[in-house]
């Protein structure tokens, strides 16, 4: 099979597409022919190996997993002899977790891992475009912010993969949503349900007079120090990007003050939790409560370009790597 691989950290050019051995399913495994897989900011970070503490997850001197990609949608093409949940031909949506490997023509995953039947009303591209964003945003909003109906949330970086998922999830939970993005993306964020959109080019939301129950920094571009003043009493600032500062602030605000700061490693959650979240995604997608947002599609051979697109900051929604067409 063909796979995008890298064996050293660096710029997108370290990625190359080569023929590698197709994995064979074990007795309790499923082999999936990948239809589409998102490229995330985390993929770009792990490929670059910077900041250097990211290598604690991927390998100190060189990558342990040579193929990136933590989410996918595709078709089951083989199952192990002990597998009963899935059958050849099933359309599935799944996550690989810390083993990665989805940026390839085939991926092998445990049948009892984060793997569910894909939404019946979505193509592989559409399903894959939702998975990574929802699996990241949902734990932040539900489990860490405890977002409730009637609360106000500001989402910084609202036009990206995680940001657009967060906008839609926050509306699903009944919150009032303010999205922050660049001038060119204001209409996009509004079209996905934001009640109000702030142009960071012309307005610094951290200096405004209003305040929020939750500030979710989906882009990881701000800080608790800057956002604390726009948090209500009891409010919380959450970021997707770990740093020494947020670790210190998370510990400090747990015991002192009336505003909290936090970060979460959503990719390291238990498989059972991810499976439950994938089922929730399928439920709300089939009910029409969340819509895909696809920025650009790149064939596997252009994986490096997909990484450059992510790093450009210009993406509007999810950047996808797509394989041979399975559906429309």
CATH number, residue 73: 3.90.180.10
Domain count, the chain: 2
Answer yes or no: do 211 and 252 share one domain: yes
Q: Note whether 142 and 248 are same-domain residues.
A: yes
Looking at residue 240, what is its pLDDT?
Answer: 95
- Per residue in 206-245, pLDDT tens? 999 999 999 999 999 999 999 999 999 999 999 999 989 9
Is the same domain home to 10 and 120? Answer: yes
The model's pLDDT over 41-88, given as tens digits with 9 standing for 90+, comes to 999 999 999 988 889 889 999 999 999 999 999 999 999 999 999 999
Q: Do 16 and 114 belong to one domain?
A: yes
Same structural domain, 238 and 282: no
Q: Structure tokens of 292?
A: 């895909």
**According to the model, what pLDDT value does residue 267 have?**
85
pLDDT above 90: residue 102: yes
Are residues 308 and 225 part of one domain? no
Q: What DSSP line would sit under 155-172, residue for residue?
A: EETTTBHHHHHHHHHHHH
Q: Cα–Cα distances in Å, from 133 out to 278, 279, 281?
A: 11, 14, 10
Confidence of residue 304 (pLDDT cuts 50, 70, 90): very high
pLDDT band with cut points at 50, 70 and 90 for residue 325 = low
For residue 27, pLDDT beyond 50? yes
The predicted model scores a pTM of 0.94
Domain membership of residue 327 (yes or no) is no
Reduce the DSSP state of residue 97 to 3 states and report it.
Answer: helix
118 and 154 in a common domain: no
pLDDT 10s digits, 114-128: 999 999 999 999 999
Residues 294, 244 share a domain: no
The yes-or-no verdict on residue 25 having pLDDT over 80 is: yes
Q: What pLDDT shows up at residue 326?
A: 42
Token pair 């509004």: residue: 190
Q: What is the CATH number of the domain that holds 256?
A: 3.40.50.720
Q: Tell me the residue range of the domain where 226 lies.
A: 132-266
List Cα–Cα distances, 108 to 78, 170, 183, 310, in angstroms.
9, 33, 41, 26
């Amino acid at each position: 099979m063909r796979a995008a691989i890298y064996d050293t950290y660096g710029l997108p050019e370290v990625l190359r597409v080569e023929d590698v051995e197709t994995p064979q399913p074990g007795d309790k495994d499923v082999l999936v022919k990948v239809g589409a897989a998102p490229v995330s900011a985390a993929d770009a970070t792990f490929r670059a190996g910077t900041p250097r503490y990211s290598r604690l997850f991927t390998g100190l001197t060189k990558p342990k997993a040579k193929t990136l990609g933590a989410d996918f949608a595709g078709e089951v093409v083989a199952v192990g002899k002990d597998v009963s949940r899935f059958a050849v031909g099933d359309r599935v949506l799944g996550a690989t977790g810390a083993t990665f490997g989805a940026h390839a023509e085939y991926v092998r995953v445990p049948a009892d891992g984060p793997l569910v039947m894909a939404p019946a009303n979505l193509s592989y591209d559409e399903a894959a475009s939702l998975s990574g964003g929802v699996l990241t945003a949902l734990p932040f909003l539900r489990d860490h912010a405890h977002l409730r109906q009637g609360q106000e949330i500001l989402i910084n970086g609202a036009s990206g993969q995680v940001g657009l998922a967060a906008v839609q999830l926050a509306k699903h939970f009944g919150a009032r949503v303010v999205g922050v993005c660049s001038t060119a993306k204001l209409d996009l964020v509004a079209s996905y349900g934001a009640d109000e959109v702030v142009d960071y080019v012309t307005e610094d939301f951290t200096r405004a007079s209003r305040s929020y129950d939750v500030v979710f920094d989906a882009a990881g571009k701000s800080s608790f120090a800057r956002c604390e003043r726009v948090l209500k009493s009891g409010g919380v600032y959450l970021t997707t990007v770990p740093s020494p500062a947020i670790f210190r602030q998370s510990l400090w605000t747990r015991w002192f003050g009336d505003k909290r700061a936090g970060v979460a490693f959503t990719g390291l959650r238990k498989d059972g939790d991810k499976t439950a979240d994938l089922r929730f995604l399928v439920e709300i997608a089939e009910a029409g409560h969340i819509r895909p947002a696809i920025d650009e599609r790149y064939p596997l051979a252009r994986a490096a370009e997909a990484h450059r697109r992510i790093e450009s900051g210009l993406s509007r929604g999810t950047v996808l790597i797509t394989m041979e067409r399975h559906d429309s």
